[in-house]
Structure formats: structure tokens, C-alpha cells
Amino acid sequence: MNLVLLGPPGSGKGTLAKLLSSQLNIPHISTGDILREEAESGTSLGKKVKPFMEKGELVPDQTILEVMKERIRSSECQKGFLLDGFPRNFHQALELDDMLKNSTKSIDMVIKFDVSDDCVLKRLGGRLICSGCGADFNRYTKPPQKDLMCDFCGSQLYQRPDDAQEVILNRLKVYKEQAMPVEKYYNNQGKLRRINAELDPSLILKNVLNILQSKKE
């Protein structure tokens, strides 16, 4: 199954993708995670994308498309994939279809995460990441037992640079401008399903699995 998770920053795409990926046994491809790894390792790609990410702007299409072409062609994706953070504008959606056409595949379903701006601001403002094992915590929804210390490995927790308030606001603005045509594109193809993304992650997972099941029947 080839799935796309579409939704504003902080809507919970990454959180659900991890749960869904292990349930469906398909890889979770997060463009944000790929780009952050490159930026942290200081590769030439990382140096190129870092200034865009720090401001909450999209990295240039050509750059992300090169990354995704390689991923989608890889053996890892042959049995299906779960895309988190891609496509993010209309051009990327068209290019994705083009990439898949060459291997006679297509997108089966797009899950759209519905969440309010207030919820996004609270979730992202509270997000903390472990510098050691990468575990996700949240001051409001999933607090660590000890302040700024990982429950699993004891390393220091940090805030993602793009989770600063002014950058969150820009990410939301960029999302609203760029993602609406993507939503419309998949809706016109009958592939879009909306979910209430303000529920508990376990309930969201259950709802999404039900949606996927009803497609099969």
C-alpha cells in the first residue's frame, strides 16, 4: 500500500506514521527527518537545506525531488511506503505521480490530519526531543519524568530550532498556502480521507486502520 499523510506541522503525522508503519510493515519516509539528518551531519545537501528549514520555508523543489526519486526507487519501497511531509505543494504532487508512473504504481490513499491552529501551537511549543536516542516528549502531552532529561537514556532534551514560536507561525502560513492545492488534487481523485487528529494517538491509529480496512472491502 502506498500512503500519503498530509497535514499541518504538529498535526501528528510523524507520531501516527511510526505506529502505522509497524502495523502495516511498510517503511515510514519522512522528508523532514531525512533533511534534518543531512543538516546535522553537515553534508553538502544539509548545508543547502538548513537555512530554509530554520526559517520554516520549504526547501527548493528540485532538491527534495532528487532525494525522493532515489528513495521511491529503492528496494525498501518496493512493497509500499508511508510518505510523511511529501508532497507538500502541487508541483511535488505531480512529480510524485510521475515517479510512480515509471514503476506502474500509484498513491492508494491520502490521510488528511484535521487539527486547529491552537492545538498545533501548543503541541509544537511543548515538543522536546532527546539528543541521545531521538525519543519524542512533550511538556503538555507527554512530559518527561525529570525536567529536560530523557526517560529512556538520560540524555538532555532539546527544542527543535524550527519549533520557536515565530518559525511555527511561518510553517503554518507556508502550509496553508502550499498544501491546499495538494488536498484538492487528491480529493478530486477520490483518494483523500480526513481524520480528527486531536484525539489520542491510539484512537487515531484505530480510526485510520478502519479507513484502510473499508477501502479493501
Taking CB atoms within 8 Å and a gap of at least 24, the contacts of 57-66 are 57/170, 57/174, 58/88, 58/89, 58/174, 58/178, 59/35, 61/89, 61/91, 61/92, 61/95, 64/31, 64/35, 64/88, 64/92, 65/92, 65/95
Closest residue to ligand AP5: CB criterion: 32
Does 51 sit behind a cis peptide bond, omega within 30 degrees of 0 on the bond before it?
no
6 close to 111: Cβ distance less than 8 angstroms: yes
Task: For residue 28, report the phi and psi dihedrals to the nearest 5 degrees.
Answer: -95, 115
Mark residues 152-171: x for contact with ligand AP5 by CB under 6 A, - for none. Answer: ----------x--------x
Q: Does 88 contact ligand AP5 by CB under 6 A? A: yes
Q: Does 15 contact ligand AP5 by CB under 6 A? A: yes
Task: For residue 136, report the phi and psi dihedrals to the nearest 5 degrees.
Answer: -100, 130
Q: Least distance in Å: CB of 127 to ligand AP5?
A: 4
Q: Which residue of 2, 3, 4, 10 would you call a contact of ligand AP5, by CB under 6 A? A: 10
Q: Does 21 contact ligand AP5 by CB under 6 A? A: no
Nearest to 24 by CA among 43, 42, 39, 3: 3
Catalytic positions: 13, 88, 127, 160, 171
Identify which of residues 81 and 86 has a Cβ nearer to ligand AP5 in the complex. Answer: 86
Distance of alpha carbon 19 from alpha carbon 57, whole angstroms? 27
Q: Which residue of 39, 59, 179, 192 would you call a contact of ligand AP5, by CB under 6 A? A: 59
Name 137's bridge partners: 128
Identify which of residues 36 and 212 has a Cβ nearer to ligand AP5 in the complex. Answer: 36
Identify which of residues 80 and 201 has a Cβ nearer to ligand AP5 in the complex. Answer: 201
Mark residues 185-214: x for contact with ligand AP5 by CB under 6 A, - for none. Answer: ----------------x--x----------
- Judged by the rule CB under 6 A, the positions of this chain that interact with ligand AP5 are 7, 9-15, 31-32, 35, 52-53, 56-59, 64, 85-86, 88, 92, 123-124, 127, 136, 138, 141-142, 162, 171, 201, 204
